[in-house]
């Protein structure tokens, strides 16, 4: 079988590096070019040292990009929307890992991102990149916009409940605890080790941009409210979303099990984690490092109609590069799990 | 012989030769279950040792 020629635009960041790690071992992929303006001409392993002896690729400038079958865009937000025509000319298929084409509504984009979108007329050309929600659209898609990490964990955790209309739609609270790699590889005063180490830093108590994606994907035509907060904690990879919802009816845990099983029973990367014994009874991000799983657990409050849904992912994998590769596999009719079989490490 | 996990509702298949009092694990939620009766087939949550787990 001939291989798909791909290039990564913006491959020196954490997401680009993770994607490169995955693609290097994908049996149906040939990596043509990887770009970085800061490191043009350097071997990729100089920036991604885990790739020593795995690749002799060097970074190119984006100006040197040649036509290929598919472009992965790992650029900072607000970049791809201004250069999309240039990228479309280079490749018939694009997977954008930035936030630029995730939303479907220009006013919502402006409300959450604080500026007008450069190309809102292209919104509907992009499929929102969570395969568990949009697999059939992905099979026919040329353009996919990979979902945000916090949004992915939150949406996957709550999707079965919202889809089936089981929760009060104005009383959802989500608290995400996130690792430092969510902030990317650009340093700032807050990321300086003496300041960052050991923190439990409430960095976005309200108005996190990923809220817009959660609202979009869970609304099902209704006006819903989702109250989202994010806290930075002392891990590098991974995030845990703790979602509080209020059930309309007095469902029992067995009923909720059935709902999650019906929705995700055949999903290769979703695991329901809710055990009554052992150390890891609920989802734990550290066990997911390097994997594409989203682990989801739940617990019904016996004294109220509150249901707590807990979901965990590796933000660089199911929250970025892994999910993008899963979408790539679906687009091309490959086994969805190709290149994503790693089951994680224990202990870690 | 088929029955249902009392915790998560998953289908439980009791193998030939299963006896009352036998312990098994639910394939979905991992709960340890005890066979209560065979006719009709029925299982219950097996008693757990109390653990000091974040109390």
Q: Say if residue A139 is in the same domain as residue A8.
A: yes
Q: Nearest residue of A to residue B5 by CA position?
A: A254
Give the domain range for residue B25: 2-45
Q: What is the C-alpha to C-alpha distance for residues A292 and A149, in angstroms, rounded to an integer? A: 12
**Residue A346 in domain:** no
pLDDT in tens, A273-308: 999 888 999 999 999 999 999 999 999 999 999 999
Q: Say if residue A142 is in the same domain as residue A234.
A: no
Q: Say if residue A100 is in the same domain as residue A231.
A: no
Tokens of A19: 């994607």
Cβ within 8 Å, pair B7-A275: no
Catalytic site residue A149? yes
Tokens of A32: 């043509």
**Residue B24 in domain:** yes
Pairing of strands B41-45, B32-38: antiparallel
Q: What confidence tier does A184 reach under pLDDT thresholds 50, 70, 90?
A: confident
Q: Say if residue A86 is in the same domain as residue A185.
A: no
Tell whether A277 lies on the interface with B, counting CB pairs under 8 A.
Answer: yes
Q: For chain B, which residues lie within 8 Å of any Cβ of chain A, measuring from their own Cβ? A: 6-10, 28-32, 45, 48, 51, 53
Q: What is the C-alpha to C-alpha distance for residues A283 and A270, in angstroms, rounded to an integer? A: 11
Distance to chain B for A253, nearest Cα, Å: 7
pLDDT of B54 reads: 56
pLDDT in tens, A53-91: 999 999 999 999 999 999 999 999 999 999 999 999 999
- What is the domain count for chain B? 1
Q: What is the C-alpha to C-alpha distance for residues A12 and A33, in angstroms, rounded to an integer? A: 12
**Residue A338 in domain:** no
Cβ within 8 Å, pair B32-A277: yes
pLDDT in tens, A117-147: 999 999 999 999 999 999 999 999 999 999 9
Q: What is the ipTM of this complex?
A: 0.80
Q: Nearest residue of A to residue B53 by CA position?
A: A279
Determine contact, residues A100/A78, Cβ cutoff 8 Å.
Answer: yes
Cβ within 8 Å, pair B7-A261: no
**Residue A171 in domain:** yes
Determine contact, residues A40/A63, Cβ cutoff 8 Å.
Answer: no
Task: Report residue A75 CA to chain centroid gap.
Answer: 15
**Residue A344 in domain:** no
pLDDT of A185 reads: 84
Q: Say if residue A234 is in the same domain as residue A162.
A: yes
Question: Does the structure show a pLDDT above 90 at A11?
Answer: yes
Task: Report residue A227 CA to chain centroid gap.
Answer: 19
pLDDT in tens, B17-55: 999 999 999 999 999 999 999 999 999 999 876 556 555
Identify which of A266, A156, A163, A152 has the alpha carbon closest to the alpha carbon of residue A213: A152
Task: Report residue A21 CA to chain centroid gap.
Answer: 16
Return the CATH number at A95.
3.40.50.720
Mutate to test the interface with A, among B3, B6, B7, B45 (most CBs of A within 10 A): B7
Q: How far is CA A271 from CA A281, A312, A318, B13, B42, in A?
A: 12, 10, 13, 21, 26
Q: Say if residue A161 is in the same domain as residue A260.
A: yes
- B32 CB neighbours in chain A (<8 A) are 276-277
- B31 CB neighbours in chain A (<8 A) are 275-276
pLDDT of A146 reads: 97
**Residue B55 in domain:** no
- A274 CB neighbours in chain B (<8 A) are 8, 29
**Segment holding A326, helix H or strand E:** helix A321-331
Q: Say if residue A218 is in the same domain as residue A154.
A: yes
Give the domain range for residue A287: 150-313
Q: Nearest residue of A to residue B51 by CA position?
A: A277
- B51 CB neighbours in chain A (<8 A) are 277
- A257 CB neighbours in chain B (<8 A) are 7-10, 28-29
Determine contact, residues A277/B32, Cβ cutoff 8 Å.
Answer: yes
Q: What is the C-alpha to C-alpha distance for residues B7 and A341, in angstroms, rounded to an integer? A: 30
Say what the pTM is.
0.95
Ordered DSSP codes for B25-55:
E-TTT--EEEEEEETTEEEEEPP-----S--
Of A255, A261, A276, the CB nearest to B31: A276
Cβ within 8 Å, pair A277-B51: yes
Q: Say if residue A272 is in the same domain as residue A309.
A: yes
Q: Say if residue A97 is in the same domain as residue A213.
A: no
Cβ within 8 Å, pair A254-B9: yes
Q: Nearest residue of A to residue B9 by CA position?
A: A254
**Chain length of chain A:** 348
Phi, psi values for residue A217, rounded to 5°: -85, -20
Q: Say if residue A126 is in the same domain as residue A12.
A: yes
**Residue A339 in domain:** no
pLDDT of A289 reads: 98
Q: How far is CA A204 from CA A156, A174, A189, A315, in A?
A: 21, 12, 17, 17
Ordered DSSP codes for A96-110:
E-SSTTS-S-HHHHH
Q: How far is CA A120 from CA A70, A76, A111, A158, A217, in A?
A: 22, 18, 14, 28, 18
Q: Nearest residue of B to residue A256 by CA position?
A: B8
**Residue A263 in domain:** yes
**Quick one: DSSP state of residue A2?**
P
Return the CATH number at B33.
2.20.28.160
Return the CATH number at A303.
3.30.360.10
- What is the domain count for chain A? 2
Q: Say if residue A79 is in the same domain as residue A179.
A: no
pLDDT of A277 reads: 87
pLDDT in tens, A26-60: 999 999 999 999 999 999 999 999 999 999 999 99
Q: Say if residue A131 is in the same domain as residue A217.
A: no
**Residue A327 in domain:** yes
**Residue A67 in domain:** yes
Mutate to test the interface with B, among A252, A253, A254, A260 (most CBs of B within 10 A): A254
Contacts of A239 (CB under 8 A, 6+ apart): A149, A150, A153, A176, A177, A178, A179, A182, A285, A312, A313, A315, A319
Task: Report residue A96 CA to chain centroid gap.
Answer: 11
Residue A284 buriedness (CB in 10 A; 0-12 / 13-18 / 19+): middle
């Amino acid at each position: 079988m001939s291989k798909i020629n791909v290039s990564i635009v913006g491959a020196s960041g954490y997401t680009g590096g993770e994607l490169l790690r995955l693609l290097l071992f994908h049996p149906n992929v040939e990596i043509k070019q990887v770009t970085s303006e800061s490191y043009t001409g350097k071997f990729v392993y100089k920036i991604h040292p885990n790739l020593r002896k795995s690749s002799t690729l060097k970074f190119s400038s984006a100006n040197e990009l040649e036509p290929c079958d598919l472009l992965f865009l790992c650029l900072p937000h607000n970049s791809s929307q201004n250069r999309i025509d240039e990228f479309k000319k280079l490749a018939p298929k694009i997977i954008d890992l930035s936030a630029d084409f995730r939303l479907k509504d220009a006013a919502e984009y402006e409300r959450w991102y604080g500026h007008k979108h450069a190309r809102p007329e292209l919104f509907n050309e992009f499929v929102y990149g969570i395969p568990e929600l949009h697999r059939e659209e992905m099979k026919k898609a040329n353009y996919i916009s990979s979902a945000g990490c916090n949004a992915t964990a939150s949406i996957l955790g709550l999707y079965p409940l919202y889809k089936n209309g089981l929760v009060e739609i104005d009383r959802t609270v989500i608290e995400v605890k996130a690792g430092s790699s969510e902030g990317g590889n650009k340093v700032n005063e807050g990321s300086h080790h003496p300041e960052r180490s050991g923190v439990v830093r409430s960095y976005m108590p309200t108005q996190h941009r990923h809220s817009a994606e959660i609202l979009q994907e869970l609304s099902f035509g209704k006006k819903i409210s989702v109250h989202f907060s994010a806290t930075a904690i002392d891990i590098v990879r991974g995030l845990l979303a703790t979602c509080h919802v209020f059930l309309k009816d007095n469902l029992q845990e067995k009923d909720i099990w059935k709902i999650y099983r019906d929705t995700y029973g055949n999903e290769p990367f979703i695991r329901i984690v809710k055990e009554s014994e052992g150390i890891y009874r609920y989802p734990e991000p550290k066990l997911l490092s390097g994997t594409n799983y989203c682990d989801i657990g739940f617990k019904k409050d016996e004294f109220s109609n509150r249901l707590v849904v807990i979901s965990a992912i590796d933000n660089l994998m199911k929250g970025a590069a892994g999910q993008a590769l899963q979408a790539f596999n679906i687009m091309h009719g490959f086994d969805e799990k190709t290149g994503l079989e790693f089951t994680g490490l224990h202990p870690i | 012989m088929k029955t249902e996990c009392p915790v998560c509702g998953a289908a439980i298949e009791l193998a030939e030769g299963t006896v009352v009092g036998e312990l098994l694990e639910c394939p979905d939620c991992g709960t340890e279950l005890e066979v209560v009766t065979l006719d009709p087939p029925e299982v219950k949550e097996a008693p757990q040792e109390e653990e000091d787990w974040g109390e």
